[in-house]
Amino acid sequence: MKEIRLNAFDMNCVSHQASGLWRHPRDRSDQYHTLQYWTDLARTLERGLFDALFLADVLGIYDVYGASPDAALRNAAQVPVNDPAMLVSAMASVTRNLGFGLTATLSYEHPFPFARRMSTLDHLTQGRIGWNIVTGYLDSAAKSTGKAQQSSHDARYDIADEYMRVVYDLWEGSWEDDAVRRDRASGVFTDPSKVHRIRHDGKYFTVDAIHLSEPSPQRTPVLFQAGASRRGQQFAGTHAECVFIAGPSKEIVRKTVASIRGQALIQGRRSDEPLIFSLLTIVTAPTHEEAWAKYEDYKQYIIPTIVWPDSRGTHRFKNVIHRMQTIL
């Protein structure tokens, strides 16, 4: 029997995918800055037997519409946006099985501190953390950190490949399984001969250090990826255990899935190894009619003003209403 795996999809902000829906009388998403909002959500998802909560993130603002961030700010289109990593320990403390797919861009942080943060979360969640590997798609994020613009599309994936080599080494190669003894009698907490320095001198990153965290339950977190371009799928085929796709029809989803599976084969993995999650917005209600009525009600609140850069760095208008497919 085939099992369907379900991830919820949210973001540490007011309007994740549906700008304007925060104005709905039953919407609570403007409480995103409270722990209670997230612990309630985590409990609900666990009760509903969800596999994981996938948390999106951006480190910049949508500022191309009208050459200004005003529309994004006015409509709370993924801004204000808080750091998603901070939510995970609180949600883990009120759940036992729910996984967390944390989006983190590798373009603005050296792999050394990042690897430690993920190891910490893997310890605190007892092995329930995943990482959605993104390189970012906003020039505004690059500008925030002193760059004129992002690196080019394929170069971002080249940098990502090297980043992965560094974090794999830190997570997998620095501490042997039995390095930590916790031996009160002999006074040895860690056997230094079983902890190894990671030396990496690459094109983009240099590391000469011991990983600071002891081995966590998974060591390497579950790896998610969502790139849809040829180079993105090549990267996913190499690294991703879970691939997140957004397809507007079954035919497109089928083609994308076949292509990702083909890439996994090319990269020396089994074609069915990556788990693939397709984005859907589901509206539930006791009857079909009530579900449609609910959908129509939600739709009135949507503000479709958002301009999204595509994979080629150009900008296209996305009417968010079209993203709200209904499955009953």
Ligand X SMILES: Cc1cc2nc3c(=O)[nH]c(=O)nc-3n(C[C@H](O)[C@H](O)[C@H](O)COP(=O)(O)O)c2cc1C
Question: Within 13 A of 65's CA, how many CA atoms are on the CB side?
Answer: 18
Pick left, alpha or beta for residue 51 (phi over 0 → left; psi -120 to 50 → alpha; otherwise beta).
alpha
d(CA 151, CA 142): 9
Q: Is 137 near ligand X (CB under 6 A)?
A: yes
Chain-centroid distance of CA 27 in Å reads 23
Phi and psi of 77, rounded to 5°?
Answer: -85, 90
* Shorter beta-carbon distance to ligand X: residue 19 or 105: 105
Q: How far is the CB of 232 from ligand X (least distance, A)?
A: 2
Name the segment binding ligand X (CB under 6 A); options: 115-123, 134-142, 161-169, 268-276.
134-142
Phi and psi of 199, rounded to 5°?
Answer: -115, 115
Q: How far is the CB of 42 from ligand X (least distance, A)?
A: 19
x-marked contacts with ligand X along 235-254 as a string, rule CB under 6 A: ---------xxx--------
- Contact with ligand X (CB under 6 A): which of 228, 243, 283, 324? 228
* Shorter beta-carbon distance to ligand X: residue 136 or 221: 136
**Which residues, in sequence order, are CB contacts of 74 under 8 Å at separation 6+?**
none
Q: Is 105 near ligand X (CB under 6 A)?
A: yes
Q: Is 227 near ligand X (CB under 6 A)?
A: yes
Beta strands in 106-234 (DSSP E): 129-134, 180-183, 188-190, 198-201, 206-209, 222-225
Name the segment binding ligand X (CB under 6 A); options: 119-127, 132-140, 163-171, 313-321.
132-140
d(CA 87, CA 210): 27
The first and second tokens of residue 105, run together, are 């861009």
Name the segment binding ligand X (CB under 6 A); options: 12-20, 111-119, 209-217, 220-228.
220-228
The first and second tokens of residue 225, run together, are 């990826």
- Contact with ligand X (CB under 6 A): which of 82, 311, 313, 321? 311
d(CA 95, CA 87): 13
- Contact with ligand X (CB under 6 A): which of 222, 226, 242, 260? 226
Could you tell me which residues are beta bridge partners of residue 129? 100
**Which residues, in sequence order, are CB contacts of 200 under 8 Å at separation 6+?**
165, 166, 169, 206, 207, 208
Q: Is 274 near ligand X (CB under 6 A)?
A: no
d(CA 272, CA 146): 41
Sequence length of the chain is: 328
Name the segment binding ligand X (CB under 6 A); options: 18-26, 174-182, 223-231, 285-293.
223-231
Q: How far is the CB of 300 from ligand X (least distance, A)?
A: 25
Q: Is 259 near ligand X (CB under 6 A)?
A: no
Q: How far is the CB of 297 from ligand X (least distance, A)?
A: 25
Q: Is 136 near ligand X (CB under 6 A)?
A: yes
Q: Is 130 near ligand X (CB under 6 A)?
A: no
Q: How far is the CB of 209 from ligand X (least distance, A)?
A: 27
Q: Is 306 near ligand X (CB under 6 A)?
A: no
The first and second tokens of residue 14, run together, are 């007011």
Residue whose C-alpha is closest to residue 319's, from 304, 303, 308: 304
Q: How far is the CB of 226 from ligand X (least distance, A)?
A: 4
d(CA 42, CA 50): 9
* Shorter beta-carbon distance to ligand X: residue 85 or 207: 85
Contact residues: ligand X, CB under 6 A: 56-58, 103, 105, 134-137, 226-229, 232, 244-246, 279, 311
